[in-house]
């Protein structure tokens, strides 16, 4: 039975945790969120800072512009005290960008890759590496086929050995679940290592 909070008491919210789903335009971020979220994905406007590319004069601060982008997200209630949020972060291509505002506190990231357009995910891979956020690279196998084998993708993306590379289907709940579990396992290993040292 659902208890209706009386107006004189404030309901205790769940502890919210988040994962970030990144990748280029049209790689399947929103599809992946929709496949596992208990709500239809919502969209909000967020601001990201873009750092103009090609600034290499260290004495100058790179030109920064703030861009408003649409961000999709969904959630999954683990239990009444714990809720997982999934944020599909936009941003790819030629710009450096700063998602710090969106990513702050994230447990990890899932970088979705479309093998027909590998370039679109460089920015996300670089970002998670730079921020030292555990992440998994997941190839969205559009129609069950991928254009490059895994070693080629790993090489093309210059991925570190320890970063998992998986193939998944953004339209399938079980496949998205397993991809997210791969990210969470990394986060868990890291947390366990921190406890024992």
| Minimum CB distance to other proteins, residue 59 (Å) | 25
169 binds, among Mg ion, ligand GDP, other proteins, none (CB under 5 to 8 A by kind): ligand GDP
Q: Which of 170, 182, 183, 187 binds ligand GDP (CB under 6 A)?
A: 170
Q: Which stretch in 109-117, 125-133, 141-149, 180-188 sits in contact with other proteins by CB under 8 A?
A: 180-188
65 binds, among ligand GDP, other proteins, Mg ion, none (CB under 5 to 8 A by kind): none
Cβ atoms 150, 176 nearer than 8 A:
no
Binding-residue pattern over the window 90 to 129 for ligand GDP, x denoting contact by CB under 6 A: ----------------------------------------
Cβ atoms 151, 186 nearer than 8 A:
no
Instruction: Work out the end-to-end distance of the chain between its first and last CA atoms, rounded to an integer number of angstroms.
Output: 44
194 vs 162: CA distance, rounded Å: 17
Q: Which of 83, 131, 154, 171 binds ligand GDP (CB under 6 A)?
A: 171
Strand order in the sheet with 135-140: 96-98, 42-51, 64-79, 82-89, 15-22, 108-113, 135-140, 165-168
Q: Which is nearer to ligand GDP, 88 or 108 (CB)?
A: 88
Smallest Cα–Cα separation from 97: which of 78, 74, 120, 73?
Answer: 120
Cβ atoms 142, 170 nearer than 8 A:
no
Residue 164 CB coordination number (10 Å): 15
Contacts of residue 173, defined as CB under 8 A and 6 or more positions apart, other chains included, come to: 35, 36
Q: Which residues of the chain form contacts with ligand GDP (CB under 6 A)?
A: 23, 25-31, 88, 140, 142-143, 169-171
Q: Which residues of the chain form contacts with other proteins (CB under 8 A)?
A: 5, 7-18, 36, 42-47, 68, 71, 73, 75-76, 78-79, 81-85, 87, 101-102, 104-105, 107, 172-174, 177, 180-181, 184-185, 187-188, 191-192, 195
């Amino acid at each position: 039975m659902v208890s209706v909070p009386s107006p004189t008491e404030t309901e205790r919210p769940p502890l919210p945790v988040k994962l970030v789903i990144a990748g280029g335009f049209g790689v399947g971020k929103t599809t992946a969120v929709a496949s596992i979220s208990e709500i239809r994905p919502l969209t909000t406007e967020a601001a990201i800072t873009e750092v103009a590319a090609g600034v290499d004069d260290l004495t100058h601060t790179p030109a920064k512009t703030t861009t408003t982008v649409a961000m999709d997200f969904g959630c999954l209630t683990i239990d009444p005290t714990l809720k997982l949020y999934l944020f599909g972060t936009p941003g790819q291509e030629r710009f450096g960008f700063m998602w710090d505002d969106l990513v702050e506190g994230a447990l990890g990231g899932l970088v979705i890759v479309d093998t027909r357009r590998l370039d679109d995910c460089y920015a996300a891979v670089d970002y998670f590496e730079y921020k030292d956020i555990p992440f998994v690279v997941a190839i969205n196998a559009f129609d069950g086929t991928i254009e490059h084998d895994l070693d080629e993708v790993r090489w093309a993306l210059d991925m570190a050995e320890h970063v998992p590379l998986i193939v998944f289907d953004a339209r399938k709940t079980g496949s998205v679940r397993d991809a997210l579990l791969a990210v969470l396992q990394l986060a868990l290993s890291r947390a366990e290592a921190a406890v024992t040292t």
